[in-house]
Chains A and B, each alone.
Chain A
Amino acid sequence: MHIMEGFLPVTHAIGWSLASAPFVGYGLYVIKKRIREKPEQRMLLGVAAAFTFVLSALKMPSVTGSCSHPTGTGLGAVLFSPGAMAPIGAVVLLFQALLLAHGGLTTLGANIFSMAVVGPFAATLVYRLARGIKLPFSFAVFLAASLADLLTYVTTAGQLAFAFPDPVGGFAVSFAKFCGVFAVTQIPLAISEGLLTVVVFNALTRYNARELQDMNVLTGQEVRA
């Protein structure tokens, strides 16, 4: 999902940066407030950040014969809030842009928008919907994390198609082409990310049930189960 450095026209680069900035700002405010009110949740926030660090470093092979990586933003979005993940994702993307020449400073805004804004918000939305129709907790987490991962890549495809519409078919044709590169490759990886997120949640449910209950992620009934 990393749009390479310089691969967005100037207007798009500025536009996406402006679009992402308020989310990162709001996220910092949310995190500060949360840590002031509940300092004991600092470590769990670290876990959410660490999970994004690990998963976005793992480039995995896919059935399309190319490699891509998961994003790891679903965990933090379900644990905390989608807003909190925007600055965390931004830090990861900045690290990769500066040290790894993976993504870039001019495309940072666009990359933050797909990975750290659309992903986490999709995760929270899917999670709430799934819980709303009484799906089991683990399954809701799986759906939230996988779809967040997949939608991040669909967003990247959309951003590139918007910047580079096909000379004949326009946005739609270009979008389909970029989806062919990103979204199809991402399907098995998104499933993997969903499964890994459930693994972490299983461990947290077992050993940190009180914290999860405190954060309204689990109900008392589920903790005992």
Chain B
Amino acid sequence: MKKYQNIILLFLVVVLTALPLWMVKTPEPGPDGKEVEIFTGADGQAKDLVGTIAPDYKPWFKPLMEPPSGEIESLLFALQAALGAGFIAYYLGVSVTRTKMRKAQEQGKKC
């Protein structure tokens, strides 16, 4: 069980992530004929909610720099994830090798 624990856990994460894609269906276009978008960001929805609760509120500051397109935005997000994943993988790689060498050394001494 312990041996397969990580594989099972990762599988569960994949299921948890994929399930909504399959469960949530695009609703019919509203009376105004607009397509309803699904899987938009919660942050953006909160922004819209502020608009309904306080319609008079005007944001008083604009982002200094906005990604020029959705592509550039996903580039930066991918970069962020890649940097993080790269570092974790490097560290685990070092640790695995070190554990192996430690074991090899201990066995070498016994012989």
Residues of B within 8 A of A164 (CB): 50, 53-54, 57
B76 & A99 in contact (Cβ 8 Å cutoff): yes
* Interface residues on chain B, size class: 35 or more
Tell me, yes or no, whether B104 is within 8 Å of chain A by CB. Answer: no
Residues of A within 8 A of B49 (CB): 160, 177-178, 181
Residue of B nearest to A200 (CB): B88
A61 & B42 in contact (Cβ 8 Å cutoff): no
Give the residues from 176 to 206 in chain A that come closer than 8 angstroms, CB to CB, to chain B.
Answer: 177-178, 181-182, 185-186, 188, 191-192, 195-196, 198-200, 202-204, 206
Residues of B within 8 A of A51 (CB): 84, 88
B45 & A66 in contact (Cβ 8 Å cutoff): yes
Tell me, yes or no, whether B92 is within 8 Å of chain A by CB. Answer: yes
Write the nearest CB–CB distance from B81 to chain A, whole angstroms. Answer: 4
Write the nearest CB–CB distance from A166 to chain B, whole angstroms. Answer: 6
- Most A CB atoms within 10 A — which of B60, B63, B65? B63
Contact partner of B77 (CB less than 8 A), chosen from A57, A182, A188, A207, is A57
Residues of B within 8 A of A95 (CB): 80
Tell me, yes or no, whether B111 is within 8 Å of chain A by CB. Answer: no
Write the nearest CB–CB distance from B1 to chain A, whole angstroms. Answer: 12
A99 and B109 CA atoms in complex are apart in Å by 54
Residues of A within 8 A of B43 (CB): 1-4, 68, 102-103
Tell me, yes or no, whether B34 is within 8 Å of chain A by CB. Answer: no
Residues of B within 8 A of A166 (CB): 53
Give the residues from 1 to 36 in chain B that come closer than 8 angstroms, CB to CB, to chain A.
Answer: 5-6, 9-10, 12-13, 16-17, 19-21, 23-24
Q: Summarize B's interface: helix, strand, loop or mixed.
A: helix
Residues of A within 8 A of B83 (CB): 50, 53
Write the nearest CB–CB distance from B2 to chain A, whole angstroms. Answer: 8
Contact partner of B40 (CB less than 8 A), chosen from A67, A177, A207, is A67
B45 & A54 in contact (Cβ 8 Å cutoff): no
Contact partner of A196 (CB less than 8 A), chosen from B13, B41, B42, is B13
Give the residues from 68 to 104 in chain A that come closer than 8 angstroms, CB to CB, to chain B.
Answer: 68, 92, 95-104
Write the nearest CB–CB distance from B45 to chain A, whole angstroms. Answer: 5
Write the nearest CB–CB distance from A54 to chain B, whole angstroms. Answer: 4
Write the nearest CB–CB distance from A97 to chain B, whole angstroms. Answer: 8
A98 & B65 in contact (Cβ 8 Å cutoff): yes
A61 and B20 CA atoms in complex are apart in Å by 6
Write the nearest CB–CB distance from A212 to chain B, whole angstroms. Answer: 11
Comparing A5-13, A118-126, A215-223, the segment that makes contact with chain B is: A5-13
Jot down 12 A-B pairs with beta carbons below 8 A, ordered by A.
A1-B43, A5-B62, A61-B24, A66-B40, A66-B45, A67-B40, A98-B64, A100-B77, A177-B49, A195-B10, A199-B6, A206-B99
14 additional A-B pairs beyond A106-B61, A167-B54, beta carbons within 8 Å, are: A3-B46, A49-B87, A50-B85, A56-B80, A57-B80, A63-B19, A64-B24, A100-B77, A167-B53, A178-B46, A181-B46, A195-B10, A202-B6, A203-B6
